Chains A and B, each alone.
Chain A
Amino acid sequence: MAESETPLLDELEKGEWPSFVKDMKQAAEKKPMAKDLLRQLELSYKEKIGHWKHGGIVGVKGYGGGVIGRYSDRPDLFPGVAHFHTMRVNHPTGWFYTTKALRTLCDIWDKHGSGLTNMHGSTGDIILLGTSTDHLQSCFDDLSDAGFDLGGSGSALRTPSACVGPARCEWACIDSLNICYDITMSFQDQLHRPMFPYKFKIKVSGCANDCVASIARSDFSIIGTWKGKIQIDQKEVQAYAASGLDVQAEVTDLCPTKCMTWDEKAKTLAIEDADCTRCMHCINMMPKALRQGKEKGATLLIGGKAPIVQGALLSTVIVPFMKLEPPYQELKDLILKILDWWDEHGKMRERVGELINRVGMRTFLKDIGLKPAPQMVKNPRTNPYVFFWPEEIKKEVK
């Protein structure tokens, strides 16, 4: 039996879990590029060192992003991966594809690249792994003809993403799909022509369950919410209790603001809606019994990011409630204002959340023209003057 060329990688195929090595071997049967990729990876495992060089080329004509340049530092050994650029393709909002679109995408990538894909990258894009410089433009042209566009990379607006929203979810308070699509189309220049201090991500979630984790993974989060009373169907609440749900322990005791009371004797649930933070826990537990309030809109937050350069940040509320209806002008004006402020004051490689941490939320709100609101504060602070300017306090004393 012939000896394997990749004994170390073969080890990764053992065990119960699916292995990327198996996928790469499958691709290597058709593509010499994928074969060289396996061989280079084997060398990396053997020498315990990476053999990629990153950076340089950014895209196709007229674009400043969408392609991440990657080169082998051993093109003499692995000519198939001398160039192995990644193409980021803007995914359809909510990741809805027809099988025809997927087949077209794969055919294009078989024609121009390694055939290897990553569905999807952490921002949500379709990641096409491995092509050479001379194929970039023709691949882009074919993608364009099929209705696809490149996504964002580098110091630009990254591809906006959204949850499946009203297409499949009864809890969507906003049309997350349409908002995401509208933002993508409205901010094409910011997406394709990098001019910012660093990356900027926008994510849209239909409700507080936040299925795209926008609060942790985007600089600007749009999260669907409601105003007014949670609608209660007491008969359905009683049905849940009768079916074994411990309403006290599993619903009301876990309410973060303790705004709910469960009367065990009368079997009725009461909600003090003014104290509710609309976290959705009770609605998740009893979807047949509780519905969101009737007036729908979104909470806007700023500053989320993963730990690069500085540590991870969760977003902070800046607009507790905004009604979102096409053409979303108020929302887009606010985003533009924030982008411009960050562009002016941000240091190189400083995310907007880090900038706000540096100059203070008070300065940010004043510069953007937003009024401080109680929803911006997670817990009451020991210093009540956090949102006041010193001159305002003096004026009051007089």
Chain B
Amino acid sequence: MSAETKGKVLEFFREKSRGDKKKYYVKEVVKGLPNEDRHAIQEAVKELLDEETLKYWSSGSTTYVMLAEFFPKE
């Protein structure tokens, strides 16, 4: 996974999170970056999750990913 892919994934979230919608399926990220390899995107998302730039949000049955700064405060 390249730093370039990671940058593109982060850019996707920053761009898309300008509106009301903050939570995205990993599949939406893959769809939003059609020129990138699906597995590379998933690895990039995992790395960004490890760095806590992104955070998982789950309803219990479905999991989304979002920018940590938008994760709801309790």
- Greatest chain A CB density within 10 A among B28, B38, B49, B58 is at B58
A interface footprint on B27-48 (CB within 8 Å = 1, 0 otherwise): 1100000000010001001100
Complex-state Cα separation, A56 to B58, whole angstroms: 5
Interface residues on A, range: 20 to 34
Chain A residues, CB < 8 A from B45: 195
Complex-state Cα separation, A86 to B59, whole angstroms: 12
- In the complex, how many angstroms separate the beta carbon of B65 from the nearest chain A beta carbon? 9
Q: What DSSP secondary structure best describes chain B's contact surface?
A: mixed
Complex-state Cα separation, A80 to B38, whole angstroms: 44
**Contacting pair A83 B74 (CB below 8 A):** yes
Complex-state Cα separation, A154 to B59, whole angstroms: 7
Which residues in chain A, 140-165, are within 8 Å of chain B measured between CB atoms?
Answer: 153-156
Which residues in chain A, 119-137, are within 8 Å of chain B measured between CB atoms?
Answer: 133
Chain A residues, CB < 8 A from B61: 153-154, 198-199, 308
Query: Is A94 an interface residue, CB under 8 A from the partner?
Result: no
Chain A residues, CB < 8 A from B74: 56, 71, 83, 133
CB < 8 Å neighbour of B56 from A59, A68, A198, A308: A59
**Contacting pair B63 A55 (CB below 8 A):** no
CB < 8 Å neighbour of B63 from A86, A133, A155: A155
Query: Is B2 an interface residue, CB under 8 A from the partner?
Result: no
B interface footprint on A219-262 (CB within 8 Å = 1, 0 otherwise): 00000000000000000000000000000000000000000000
**Contacting pair B38 A343 (CB below 8 A):** yes
**Contacting pair B58 A55 (CB below 8 A):** yes
Complex-state Cα separation, A343 to B39, whole angstroms: 10
Complex-state Cα separation, A308 to B74, whole angstroms: 29
**Contacting pair A155 B38 (CB below 8 A):** no
Which residues in chain B, 1-30, are within 8 Å of chain A measured between CB atoms?
Answer: 25-28
Complex-state Cα separation, A308 to B59, whole angstroms: 14
Chain A residues, CB < 8 A from B60: 54-55, 68-69, 86, 153-154
**Contacting pair B27 A156 (CB below 8 A):** no
Chain B residues, CB < 8 A from A55: 57-60
**Contacting pair A56 B57 (CB below 8 A):** yes
- In the complex, how many angstroms separate the beta carbon of B27 from the nearest chain A beta carbon? 6
Please tell me the number of chain B residues within 8 Å of chain A, measured between CB atoms: 21
- In the complex, how many angstroms separate the beta carbon of B61 from the nearest chain A beta carbon? 7
Chain A residues, CB < 8 A from B38: 343-344
Query: Is A194 an interface residue, CB under 8 A from the partner?
Result: yes
Name the residue of chain A whose CB is nearest to the CB of B50: A62
**Contacting pair B49 A64 (CB below 8 A):** yes
Complex-state Cα separation, A199 to B60, whole angstroms: 10
**Contacting pair B50 A154 (CB below 8 A):** no
- In the complex, how many angstroms separate the beta carbon of A174 from the nearest chain B beta carbon? 30
**Contacting pair A154 B27 (CB below 8 A):** no
Query: Is A349 an interface residue, CB under 8 A from the partner?
Result: yes
- In the complex, how many angstroms separate the beta carbon of A187 from the nearest chain B beta carbon? 15
Complex-state Cα separation, A198 to B64, whole angstroms: 10
Name the residue of chain A whose CB is nearest to the CB of B23: A55
Name the residue of chain B whose CB is nearest to the CB of A133: B74
Chain A residues, CB < 8 A from B49: 64, 193
**Contacting pair B58 A197 (CB below 8 A):** no
**Contacting pair A58 B50 (CB below 8 A):** no
B interface footprint on A185-225 (CB within 8 Å = 1, 0 otherwise): 00000000111011100000000000000000000000000
- In the complex, how many angstroms separate the beta carbon of A349 from the nearest chain B beta carbon? 6
Chain B residues, CB < 8 A from A343: 38
**Contacting pair A153 B50 (CB below 8 A):** no
B interface footprint on A301-326 (CB within 8 Å = 1, 0 otherwise): 00000001000000000000000000
**Contacting pair A195 B42 (CB below 8 A):** yes
**Contacting pair B26 A65 (CB below 8 A):** no
Complex-state Cα separation, A25 to B33, whole angstroms: 53
Chain A contacts to B: CB under 8 angstroms: 54-59, 62, 64-65, 68-69, 71, 83, 86, 133, 153-156, 193-195, 197-199, 308, 343-344, 346-349
Query: Can you list 9 A-B pairs with a CB-CB distance of less than 8 A?
Result: A55-B58, A56-B71, A64-B49, A65-B63, A155-B63, A156-B63, A194-B58, A198-B62, A344-B38
**5 closest A-B pairs (Cβ-Cβ)?**
A154-B63, A194-B63, A68-B60, A154-B58, A155-B63
